[in-house]
Amino acid sequence: MIRHRSRRGNRTYPAPDGGTTVEQRTDCTVQIAYCEDNELQREMFMVALSPYLDVHPEVEVSVFSSGKELLSEVRFGSRFQIYILDIMMPEVNGMEVASALRMLKDPGLIIFLTSSVEYAVLSYEVNAFYYLTKPLNTEKLMKILDNALEAAGRSKSESVTVNTPNGIFDLKLKDILYVEVVDRAAVFYLKDGRECRSVKLRTSFHEVVPQLFESPLFASCGVSRLVNLSGVDAVDSESLLLSNGQVVYFPKSAYPELMRKWKKYRRI
């Protein structure tokens, strides 16, 4: 796998096969996975994409030479908002990669690349975002990427992606009642009574759910718990009452900021 991006804001983590350490940007807002088995095609694609990346510093592209390599990275915990997949690949073709991603509950947008139109109908079965035929029209590719970036940004601001032992799940912010860290895992309690538990956290709670910390809909009840203000019925000096009847306690130090956000949300 090769990552294409600027050098600022990187962090390192072990590769899934235990080999060379790879890097991942922490300041990127959109991660794209590009999978193509043909080396010449990969080089041509990245040359065509280079001017686009120059004007979109928020984008990072990770390049994979096989579907197996890409799926291994996803199962290891990497998250991508957009997948650009060649369909005709040996061992695991692009359509099989897409099916595996959907089985993992991965909500990423999928763009297929192929020299044949025979898979066009099948692409709808995996809810593909677009189906592009080769040779690529660079101008059309840029327009599709613009649309995909807009859709990915909109989806990212309205939801949070959770990597669980059973796959990757996309939770809408409005459906979350509260989330807290329990035994080094983030546990999401949903308004319908369900729970969603992440894998063990490798980074801070803030890095796992930055959009919740930034959302006016959520407020902190301590260093390891966030509540959805739309699910709060009442607040006092040491606890709040949730819409499901549950009482959640918080430290006194959290009270001023919690009340500020609560009053702003309720427009008191």
147 and 54 inside one domain: yes
**Model confidence at 169, in pLDDT bands (50, 70, 90)?**
confident
User: Which among 160, 177, 199 is the end of a domain?
Assistant: 160
pLDDT cut 90: percent of the chain above it: 49
pLDDT, position 12: 32
146 and 236 inside one domain: no
Angstrom distance (rounded) from CA 152 to CA 107: 10
126 versus 198: the higher-pLDDT residue is 198
Q: Provide mean pLDDT across the span 111-140.
A: 79
**pLDDT tens-digit profile of 2-36?**
665 533 333 333 333 333 333 333 345 789 999 99
121 and 241 inside one domain: no
Q: List, as own/partner pairs, every contact residues 110-117 make where C-beta atoms lie below 8 angstroms and the sequence separation is at least 24, other chains included.
A: 110/82, 110/83, 110/85, 111/82, 111/83, 111/84, 111/85, 111/144, 111/148, 112/85, 112/86, 112/87, 113/36, 113/84, 113/85, 113/86, 113/87, 114/86, 114/87, 114/88, 115/88, 116/87, 116/88
Q: What mean pLDDT is reported for the chain? A: 83
pLDDT, position 155: 63
127 and 39 inside one domain: yes
CATH number at residue 240: 2.40.50.1020
Whether pTM > 0.75 for this model: the answer is: no
Alpha helices in the chain (DSSP H): 39-54, 67-76, 94-103, 120-123, 138-158, 205-208, 210-214, 255-266
Give yes or no for residue 255 having a pLDDT over 50.
yes
Backbone angles phi, psi at 2, to 5 degrees: -125, 135
10 and 141 inside one domain: yes
User: Which among 140, 160, 180 is the end of a domain?
Assistant: 160
126 and 152 inside one domain: yes
176 and 129 inside one domain: no
6 and 115 inside one domain: yes
Range of the domain at 72: 2-160
39 and 117 inside one domain: yes
CATH number at residue 136: 3.40.50.2300
97 and 30 inside one domain: yes
pLDDT, position 11: 32
User: Which among 160, 177, 212 is the end of a domain?
Assistant: 160
Q: What is the number of structural domains in the chain?
A: 2
115 and 194 inside one domain: no
Give yes or no for residue 60 having a pLDDT over 60.
yes
**pLDDT tens-digit profile of 223-242?**
899 999 999 999 999 999 99
Angstrom distance (rounded) from CA 257 to CA 65: 48
100 and 202 inside one domain: no
